Amino acid sequence: MKRALITGITGQDGRFLAELLLSKGYQVYGLLKGQANPKAQLVQAELPQVELLEGDLTDLTSLVRAVETAQPDEVYNLAAISFVAMSFQQPELTANITGLGVLRMLEAIRIVGGSHDNPIRFYQASSSEMFGKVRETPQTELTPFYPRSPYGAAKVFGHDITVNYRESYGMFACSGILFNHESEKRGLEFVTRKITNAVARIKLGLQTELALGNLEPQRDWGYAGDYVEAMWLMLQQDQPGDYVVATGETHSVREFVERAFHHAGIDDWERHVVIDERFFRPAEVDLLVGDATKAEQMLGWERKVSFSELVERMVDHDLKVETDLVERSR
């Protein structure tokens, strides 16, 4: 039985990945931060087979202990301060967790080791935010980075140090440069879920307005369930490497809003959307669109869920959740 340790187990990707690895017969360990973390219950209810270990990316000792306990074949480093807007509010914390946390995890793996025949394989969750003010379109594994936020800058460090440990110490370390990936498990602070949740509530008469920032940025949005498959595939190859994971399509925030309202049967969406300066960022990433040819050819990866299916799935989910809440409160 293969063993995997996932940091960021309570997040969208952690939960999707744990589900995938369990379905493949892995023993899965999840690193959990903080005492009485309220999200632990969610993971325990959803995925009772996952064993939770306490640890924090700011504390090397706790990472060494977690790796010693889990004795993993594979480590997936998904934990981070992942909300770009928050990284402007807490840049130092972001650098410490999202950036230096990667270095600590790599060091923990080096310290604990793994047998010579079976060294621990490492996956780093890199991000298309590293491309920021893009130098070319579409973006590939070779496109230079130009981050536009403390989050993007921290991810560049995480990516570079992963490549460096691979080249310096021969570690099987991979970096997945994932473009935006969403789902019904997405946190409400991210724009897609914020939109689909508000659309559902407006449809049910529970709220009238949706306050948003800049509607013009364009993103390459895929389905998170498809993307965790690429993470796993990277660690099953003969050689480690870096891969862009994307759909190759780009859509604006405005288009996401229109589609979501339309799917709920509301066509006069502009009546419900107010532009609020508080949601604008000090520096914006205007356009992202990835070229996943390498992942498609070398990993055999393909995305299964289209943009419109993604929007519809999220709206349908939120309509159901909000309807259930209303019925339970009666």
φ, ψ dihedrals at 131, nearest 5°: -75, -30
CB of 220 to ligand G4F, least distance (A): 8
Contact map string, positions 108 to 147, toward ligand G4F, x by CB under 6 A: -------------------xxx------------------
Strands (DSSP E) found in the chain: 3-7, 27-32, 51-54, 74-77, 121-127, 172-178, 181-182, 210-212, 218-219, 222-223, 242-245, 251-252, 273-275
Q: Under the criterion CB under 6 A, does residue 287 sit at the interface with ligand G4F?
A: no
Instruction: Look at the block and give the residue holding tokens 């070779």.
Output: 142
C-alpha distances (whole Å) from 145 to each of 109, 169, 281 are 27, 24, 19
Contact map string, positions 170 to 209, toward ligand G4F, x by CB under 6 A: ---------xx--------xxxx-x---------------
Q: Which is nearer to ligand G4F, 213 or 248 (CB)?
A: 213
Active site residue 126: no
Q: CB-based burial of residue 314 (10 Å sphere; 0-12 exposed, 13-18 middle, 19+ buried)? A: buried
Active site residue 129: yes
Among the listed residues 27, 82, 162, 196, the single contact to ligand G4F using CB under 6 A = 82
Q: Please state, as a whole number, how many other Cβ atoms lie within 10 Å of the Cβ of residue 233.
A: 18
Annotated catalytic residue, options 151, 223, 227, 243? 151
Q: Which is nearer to ligand G4F, 13 or 73 (CB)?
A: 13
* C-alpha to C-alpha distance for 9 and 29, rounded to whole angstroms: 9
* C-alpha to C-alpha distance for 193 and 202, rounded to whole angstroms: 14
* C-alpha to C-alpha distance for 62 and 66, rounded to whole angstroms: 6
Q: Under the criterion CB under 6 A, does residue 39 sit at the interface with ligand G4F?
A: no
Using the rule CB under 6 A, give the single segment among 20-28, 77-85, 164-172, 320-328 that binds ligand G4F. 77-85
Among the listed residues 91, 119, 217, 248, the single contact to ligand G4F using CB under 6 A = 217
Annotated catalytic residue, options 82, 87, 126, 127? 127
Q: Please state, as a whole number, how many other Cβ atoms lie within 10 Å of the Cβ of residue 324.
A: 10
Among the listed residues 40, 47, 84, 102, the single contact to ligand G4F using CB under 6 A = 84
Q: Which residues are part of the catalytic machinery?
A: 127, 129, 151
Residues that bind ligand G4F (CB under 6 A): 82, 84-85, 127-129, 179-180, 189-192, 194, 212-214, 217, 219, 253, 279, 281, 284-285, 288
